[in-house]
Structure 1
Amino acid sequence: MPPRAKELTPTQIKGLKHPGGEKPVKVAVGGVSGLYVQIWPSGAKSWVLRTRYGDWQETLLKDGTIQRGRKKREIGLGAYPDVLPGAARDRAREAKDMLLRGVDPIAERKATQAALIAAARRGMTFKEAWEKFAAEKVKEFSTERYRKQWRATVEAYALPELGKMAVQDIDLQDVLRVLRPIWDGKTVTAVKVRERVEKVLAWATVQGYRKGDNPARWRGNLDMVLPAPSKVAGAENYPALQLDDVGRWWQALQARDGMGAKALAFQAMTATRSGAIRFATWSEIDLATRLWTIQPGRQSSKITASDTAKRIPLTDGMVALLESLPRLEGCDLVFWAPRGGALSDATMGKTMRVIHEANLKSGGKGFTDAKTGDQAVPHGLRSSFRTWVAERTTFDGDLAEVALFHRVGSKVAQAYNRADQVEKRRHMMAAWGDFLAGAEPADNVVRMAGAGQ
Structure 2
Amino acid sequence: MDARKAEHARRALEAAKTISFEDAAVAYFNDHEKKWKNAKHRAQFLSTLKAYAFPTIGSLPVANIDTGLVLKCIEEIWKTKTETASRVRGRIEAVLDWATVRGYRTGDNPARWNGLISEVLPARGKAQKTVHHAALPFSDLPAFMAALRERGGVATRALEFTILTAARTGEAIGARGDEIDFAEKMWKIPLDRMKASREHRVPLSDRAIEILETIPREAKNPFIFIGPRRGGLSNMAMAAVLKRMNREDITVHGFRSTFRDWAAERTNYQNQIVEMALAHVVGNKVEAAYRRGDLFEKRRRLMAESRLNLPPSRT
Q: TM-score, normalised by structure 2?
A: 0.76
Give distance in 2, aligned partners of 1:287 and 1:240: 30
Give distance in 2, aligned partners of 1:378 and 1:400: 19
Residue 202 of structure 2 aligns to a residue in which SS? strand
1:41-440 equivalent positions in 2, closer than 5 A: 94-95=1-2, 109-119=8-18, 121=19, 124-125=20-21, 153-154=48-49, 158=53, 166-170=61-65, 186=81, 188-198=83-93, 200-201=95-96, 209-210=104-105, 234-298=129-193, 301-304=194-197, 308-356=198-246, 366=247, 368=249, 376-435=250-309, 437-438=310-311
Give distance in 2, aligned partners of 1:269 and 1:205: 49
Alignment CA distance shift 1:238-1:344 (3 Å): same
Please state how far the C-alpha of 1:159 moved relative to its aligned partner: 5.7
Give distance in 2, aligned partners of 1:223 and 1:263: 42
Give distance in 1, aligned partners of 2:117 and 2:184: 44
Measured against aligned partners, the alpha-carbon deviations of 1:97-125 in whole angstroms (never above 9, x if no partner) come to: x5xxxxxx867644431112223x1xx24
Give distance in 2, aligned partners of 1:256 and 1:386: 26
Measured against aligned partners, the alpha-carbon deviations of 1:199-236 in whole angstroms (never above 9, x if no partner) come to: 55466567765456666577999899999868999223
Alignment CA distance shift 1:220-1:388 (3 Å): farther
Alignment CA distance shift 1:115-1:142 (3 Å): closer
Alignment CA distance shift 1:350-1:424 (3 Å): same
Between the aligned residues of both structures, percent identity stands at 37
Asked if the contact 1:154/1:193 (under 8 Å) is kept, the reply is yes
Higher strand share: 1
Asked if the contact 1:407/1:414 (under 8 Å) is kept, the reply is no
Alignment CA distance shift 1:183-1:391 (3 Å): farther
Letter of the structure 2 residue corresponding to residue 296 of structure 1? L
Give distance in 1, aligned partners of 2:206 and 2:242: 24
Gaps of 5+ in 2: none
Alignment CA distance shift 1:161-1:347 (3 Å): same
Letter of the structure 2 residue corresponding to residue 258 of structure 1? G
Give distance in 2, aligned partners of 1:226 and 1:402: 35
Larger mean CA deviation between 181-190 and 386-395 belongs to 181-190
Asked if the contact 2:62/2:104 (under 8 Å) is kept, the reply is yes
Alignment CA distance shift 1:237-1:174 (3 Å): farther
Give distance in 2, aligned partners of 1:413 and 1:388: 26
Give distance in 2, aligned partners of 1:181 and 1:194: 12
Alignment CA distance shift 1:163-1:416 (3 Å): same
Please state how far the C-alpha of 1:422 moved relative to its aligned partner: 0.5
Residue 394 of structure 1 aligns to a residue in which SS? coil
Asked if the contact 2:93/2:109 (under 8 Å) is kept, the reply is yes
Residue 312 of structure 1 aligns to a residue in which SS? strand
Give distance in 2, aligned partners of 1:225 and 1:426: 49
Q: Bigger radius of gyration, 1 or 2?
A: 1
Gaps of 5+ in 1: 1-93, 99-104, 357-365, 369-375, 440-453
The answer to which structure, 1 or 2, has the higher relative contact order (CA under 8 A, 6+ apart) is: 2
Please state how far the C-alpha of 1:341 moved relative to its aligned partner: 0.8
Residue 377 of structure 1 aligns to a residue in which SS? coil
Give distance in 2, aligned partners of 1:254 and 1:213: 58
Alignment CA distance shift 1:186-1:401 (3 Å): farther
Alignment CA distance shift 1:293-1:208 (3 Å): farther
Residue 297 of structure 1 aligns to a residue in which SS? helix
Residue 298 of structure 2 aligns to a residue in which SS? helix
Please state how far the C-alpha of 1:286 moved relative to its aligned partner: 0.6
Alignment CA distance shift 1:309-1:125 (3 Å): closer
Residue 345 of structure 1 aligns to a residue in which SS? coil
Please state how far the C-alpha of 1:163 moved relative to its aligned partner: 5.6
Please state how far the C-alpha of 1:432 moved relative to its aligned partner: 2.4
Map of 1:61 onto structure 2: none
Residue 311 of structure 1 aligns to a residue in which SS? strand
